[in-house]
Amino acid sequence: MYPDLSYFLHDVFGTERDNIFSIIQTFGLLLAIAFLVSAWVLYLEIKRREQLGQFKPKKVVREIGLPASTAELITNGLFGFILGYKLVYAYQEWDRFMLDAASVILSPYGDALSGLLVGAGFAAYTYWQGQKRKLPKPKKVVEKIYPRQRVGEITIVAAISGIVGAKFFALFESAETFRAFLADPVNTLFSGSGLAIYGGLIVAFAVCFWWVKRQGMKPIYMMDAVAPALMIGYAVGRLGCHFSGDGDWGIVNEMPQPSWFILPEWMWAYDYPNNVLNQGVPIEGCEDRYCRRLDPPVFPTPVWETIICTGLFGILWYLRKKLTVPGMLFAIYLVMNGVERFFIEKIRVNETFYLLGIEMTQAELISFFTILAGLLFGGWLYKKHGRF
């Protein structure tokens, strides 16, 4: 396993583990790659749908030759403040930063004086640049902004709202996580761990729906466009869970590998050596920071989900040109996503609770409603249009 980049580089180049590259966490790196892959797929699909006439450019009037606005000064000054506030603090807490960069960067603590100095510098530079571009008489120009040009904005909106939603839902994933929040709300909220994928999807969907509509695009077409992107993004993101060993693995699997299972043995039962949680038994002869493995081994459910969701992405990518009813592709995505997650939960390690006498996990409950929403939405669309 590769809890951080230094462990990967050790395997490839033989360099020391737990070095400067430890600040790059494997999960965070692959999560960023997942967003980039999703953005690229979304760009391709939006561009195709522009050619079909489903998305049209929006005319935007922009003034050039203006000095820096108050909003620009405040925004850039605030960005500079955060940069100085956190980076100098990271340097002061270098040993802790090396051990867990996320806990330092996401904590509310920092160096206020450095933040003020860097923030003032950013604001001054913004003001200077504004004076350079200032014209005696500002001009108005009309630009056409195509929806595909907004993919970067959509990705940022989805990323921020998704992480906030994932963090919020994770607080209520079990009684233990909620108790931890009540005991230490600040550090729990700003820690780098504890994310619930369904919380991220729900909140990101709601925020992006509002944002897309505000930009003059039809949400129903965007829902179809984003369905394949969401599926492949989830598949790539699960690789981050697997390669870091972040605890999203399955239950203990001591069953012998069946003859029909043609994949490698480690994909049937895996012990997650050097997992980022440092769970399990010590690895003999290991003296690094992460020196534990699971014993007995477990189902490697994250890599199973990657394989399954990559296949589901292929199906959605094929169906996107076959379905003619707007919204139907997204309805199918909801059903696929819900079914995949509902059944994988049966062999995943997760906190359970009882609802109406039925034991379930938070993800099982949400996936059930995801399937139901997909079926109802798809059924309503079929009844309305009489076709798929």
Q: Are residues 206 and 264 in the same domain?
A: yes
Q: Do the domain assignments include residue 65?
A: no
Furthest-apart CA atoms within the chain: distance in Å? 79
Q: Are residues 218 and 308 in the same domain?
A: yes
What phi, psi does 361 have (nearest 5°)? Answer: -105, 165
Residue 22 token pair: 């430890």
Helix (H, G, I), strand (E, B) or coil at 95: helix
Tell me the pLDDT tens digit for each residue of 254-312: 999 999 999 999 999 999 999 999 999 999 999 999 999 999 999 999 999 999 999 99
Asked if residue 180 has pLDDT above 80, the reply is no
Q: Do the domain assignments include residue 64?
A: no
Tell me the pLDDT tens digit for each residue of 129-149: 999 999 988 899 999 999 999
Whether 38 and 316 have beta carbons less than 8 Å apart is answered as: no
Q: Are residues 372 and 358 in the same domain?
A: yes
Asked if residue 58 has pLDDT above 60, the reply is yes
- What is the Cα–Cα distance from 226 to 77, expressed in whole angstroms? 34
Tell me the pLDDT tens digit for each residue of 81-109: 999 999 999 999 888 887 777 778 877 88
Q: Are residues 379 and 232 in the same domain?
A: yes
Tell me the pLDDT tens digit for each residue of 1-22: 899 999 999 999 999 998 889 8
Q: Among 141, 172, 202, give the residue marking a domain's end.
A: 141
Give the residue-averaged pLDDT of 208-223.
93
Note down the domain range covering 161: 5-57+146-385
Q: Are residues 126 and 36 in the same domain?
A: no
Q: Among 87, 111, 141, give the residue marking a domain's end.
A: 141
Q: Are residues 49 and 74 in the same domain?
A: no
Share of the chain above pLDDT 90, in %: 68
Q: Are residues 340 and 193 in the same domain?
A: yes
Q: Among 141, 158, 175, give the residue marking a domain's end.
A: 141
Torsion of CA 332, 337, 340, 345, to 10 degrees: -150
Q: Are residues 153 and 249 in the same domain?
A: yes
What pTM did the predictor assign?
0.88
Q: Do the domain assignments include residue 353?
A: yes
Could you tell me which of 149, 210, 161 has the C-alpha nearest to residue 35?
A: 161
What is the C-alpha radius of gyration for the chain, rounded to an integer number of angstroms? 24
pLDDT reported for residue 361 = 84
Number of domains in the chain: 2
Q: Do the domain assignments include residue 112?
A: yes
Element spanning 359, H or E: strand 358-361
Q: Do the domain assignments include residue 40?
A: yes
- What is the Cα–Cα distance from 217 to 222, expressed in whole angstroms? 8
Whether 215 and 178 have beta carbons less than 8 Å apart is answered as: no
Helix (H, G, I), strand (E, B) or coil at 292: strand
Q: Are residues 19 and 130 in the same domain?
A: no
Asked if residue 187 has pLDDT above 80, the reply is no
Q: Are residues 298 and 205 in the same domain?
A: yes
Torsion of CA 13, 18, 23, 27, to 10 degrees: 70
Q: Are residues 183 and 314 in the same domain?
A: yes
| Angle, helices 70-92/112-133, rounded to nearest 10 degrees | 150
What phi, psi does 169 have (nearest 5°)? Answer: -65, -30
Kindly list the distances between the CA atom of residue 263 and the CA atoms of 29, 242, 303, in Å, as whole numbers in the listed order: 26, 16, 12
For 310-344, b/e burial (b = at least 16 CB within 10 A) is eebbeebbebbeebebbbbbbbbbbbbbbbbbbeb
pLDDT reported for residue 67 = 93
Q: Do the domain assignments include residue 62?
A: no
